[in-house]
Structure 1
């Protein structure tokens, strides 16, 4: 019998009302993106990017972004007119970026083919997850290099020069600095470092404001991203672990190294977390992607409905992009803090 945590989490079924506050992402400040570039980058720019040397001869004019996370960074930097294709979306665009994104071509809701990417005639390709650059993905980075197209992978997916989602494993926990490094490097690549600095400062201020007073006091939590058959949960070194540690929660799957390892329902039920963070994904790729489907499954399955978090409806809903290392990570912090503030005093 594991001890109960100091923070009181015996909540009423009225928690369902809190979910309405978790369904809409916060806006990203666009003030920085409205300013002209500083023109400070010296080309050719040579970067060591996750074990690959990347040379940028001049600021890219035709970029394909293979993930929603990288797309929303580019849009936040005021680069909509340079994006000739996007792909791999889990959620609707941030409302504050909707107008900028309206004219950006979507090559695929999920991963596009190499031929489709080449059809957009890019001079630069960026991705948040290295699976796109792995064998069986869109194309290996060397194949893009053969056609003279530089490629970039988010530092959030890199560990010791290898892509975590491209077959590697994290040796150290992800930090928020990796996200800020991505923003700074994309700002340098596109010669808009002033905009990148402003975006980083805004995200840092919001993260500080969201966590200044919050302390979940070690209350246990599990992050369920997707799939009702074989649940994918937040492991101990990725973005879910970072959300937990930053807000004071204890991740019940902290012993697993992968970002989103597959587990069994028996394993999750045995760990019996105080709170469940549920991914509300709009992509409809796996059974139970959407929030309503997740809750319906949890409350109807004979095994999962025995969990205390399910019996007391202790759910926090986050969009997929908020569970991944992206600018929406801060939205995730804000939503977790809002849930905690609403329920910390309940007995």
Structure 2
């Protein structure tokens, strides 16, 4: 049995409590102390301080609904496919190595499902990568899930000072990849698969280190275009784009904008004239220009955007939507950017 309770006041970034041991905050790296608890497994009841909420688990969840692709792929990577009774909000095909496990997972909706559809699955836990699902006008507020004894969990990558960024708040400091590692560690503890969680974090850290080792760039600037041709959603300086740009040793030309993906005018993109354009290749077909091919067609035919040096020189790097969001695919995104820059002769 699980229950969720409101915490009085605003908490700082999510903190995992394992008995008397407290793990890191959202902007900190997962500590050796927290990792050491994996040897003995999870002790229940387990209390998780999660983005302004206190959630207590009396046992490992058996029926989880994941409201986002990013959250689902973490659960699948932890070997929890048999616990997932629903998934939603997908931008891309599932990772190849997770396809077999995902085949048995019910897709509740390609985008956000309704509250009724979610509760019909009788979940004991609902997870989300983005807090927009947990606010009024989204799927349901976390308090509404708590009323039915359904626990909820929001990714620390969407939490800043105890508040959800995509739930309508602002980041006060740049996102780091450590928040992703924290999410994996916390979910592993909740489901009592701590060893797999530690192994998975180690795998991602190793890949990130390998991708960024001895990478040298000289004055390379980038802009990250997620979607929409009219008012493009461009990666700002505090979200996932910051993680990608800094890891690859480049400068995000919109680093001065704190929003994750603010809608901007094309004139501002042209004025900042990035060396390289990182283009989202989304299969969801939700906005005009979701596909990379459509983005290129627009960039090269529009009289304003076609003047950019990145367009003239066809300096494009393509990332899936999930690679442009904070997720386990962040590492894939860094690997692709580093490889793309080398192919263009912009790094060594």
Name the TM-score, length of structure 2 as normaliser: 0.88
Which residue in the other structure is 1:5 paired with? none
Which residue in the other structure is 2:66 paired with? 65
Residue 268 (str. 1) matches residue 280 (str. 2) = no
Which residue in the other structure is 1:182 paired with? 183
The 8 Å contact of residues 240 and 323 in structure 1, kept in 2 or not, is answered as yes
Following TM superposition, where does structure 1 have runs of at least 4 consecutive aligned residues deviating by more than 3 angstroms? none
Name the TM-score, length of structure 1 as normaliser: 0.88
The 8 Å contact of residues 155 and 179 in structure 1, kept in 2 or not, is answered as yes
Which residue in the other structure is 2:250 paired with? 249
Which residue in the other structure is 2:92 paired with? 91
Deviation of 1:337 after TM superposition, in Å, equals 1.3
Residue 155 (str. 1) matches residue 141 (str. 2) = no
For residues 206-241 of structure 1, the C-alpha deviation after alignment (integer angstroms, 9 at most, x for no partner) is 000000021222311100000001000000100101
User: Secondary structure of 1:107's partner?
Assistant: strand
Q: How does 1:7-46 map to 2 (within 5 A)?
A: 40-46=41-47
CA–CA separation in structure 2 for the residues paired with 1:237 and 1:252: 12
Which residue in the other structure is 2:11 paired with? none
For residues 140-180 of structure 1, the C-alpha deviation after alignment (integer angstroms, 9 at most, x for no partner) is 00000010000000000000000000001000000010000
Which residue in the other structure is 2:310 paired with? 309
CA–CA separation in structure 2 for the residues paired with 1:174 and 1:38: 29
For residues 262-282 of structure 1, the C-alpha deviation after alignment (integer angstroms, 9 at most, x for no partner) is 100111111111100000001
Deviation of 1:342 after TM superposition, in Å, equals 1.7
Q: How does 1:196-275 map to 2 (within 5 A)?
A: 196-275=197-276
Note closer, same or farther for the CA distance 1:345–1:150 as it changes in structure 2 (3 Å cut): closer
The 8 Å contact of residues 38 and 192 in structure 1, kept in 2 or not, is answered as no
For residues 97-144 of structure 1, the C-alpha deviation after alignment (integer angstroms, 9 at most, x for no partner) is 000000100000000000000011101000000000011000000000
Deviation of 1:38 after TM superposition, in Å, equals 6.6
User: Secondary structure of 2:257's partner?
Assistant: coil
Residue 284 (str. 1) matches residue 310 (str. 2) = no
Which residue in the other structure is 2:31 paired with? none
The 8 Å contact of residues 315 and 344 in structure 2, kept in 1 or not, is answered as no
Which residue in the other structure is 1:56 paired with? 57
**Any unmatched runs of 5+ in structure 2?**
1-37
How many residues in Structure 1 have an aligned counterpart in Structure 2?
310
For residues 250-308 of structure 1, the C-alpha deviation after alignment (integer angstroms, 9 at most, x for no partner) is 11101101000010011111111110000000111100001000000000111100100
Note closer, same or farther for the CA distance 1:142–1:87 as it changes in structure 2 (3 Å cut): same
Greater RCO (Cα-Cα under 8 Å, separation 6 or more): 1
CA RMSD of aligned residues (A): 1.2
**More displaced 10-residue stretch of structure 1: 84-93 or 238-247:** 238-247
The 8 Å contact of residues 235 and 241 in structure 2, kept in 1 or not, is answered as yes
Residue 80 (str. 1) matches residue 70 (str. 2) = no
The 8 Å contact of residues 68 and 86 in structure 1, kept in 2 or not, is answered as yes
CA–CA separation in structure 2 for the residues paired with 1:298 and 1:39: 55
CA–CA separation in structure 2 for the residues paired with 1:311 and 1:195: 46
Residue 112 (str. 1) matches residue 113 (str. 2) = yes
**More displaced 10-residue stretch of structure 1: 217-226 or 182-191:** 217-226
Residue 293 (str. 1) matches residue 294 (str. 2) = yes
CA–CA separation in structure 2 for the residues paired with 1:191 and 1:38: 11
**Any unmatched runs of 5+ in structure 1?**
1-36
CA–CA separation in structure 2 for the residues paired with 1:38 and 1:120: 33
The 8 Å contact of residues 273 and 308 in structure 1, kept in 2 or not, is answered as yes
Which residue in the other structure is 2:172 paired with? 171
Deviation of 1:182 after TM superposition, in Å, equals 0.1
CA–CA separation in structure 1 for the residues paired with 2:98 and 2:289: 27
Note closer, same or farther for the CA distance 1:39–1:122 as it changes in structure 2 (3 Å cut): farther
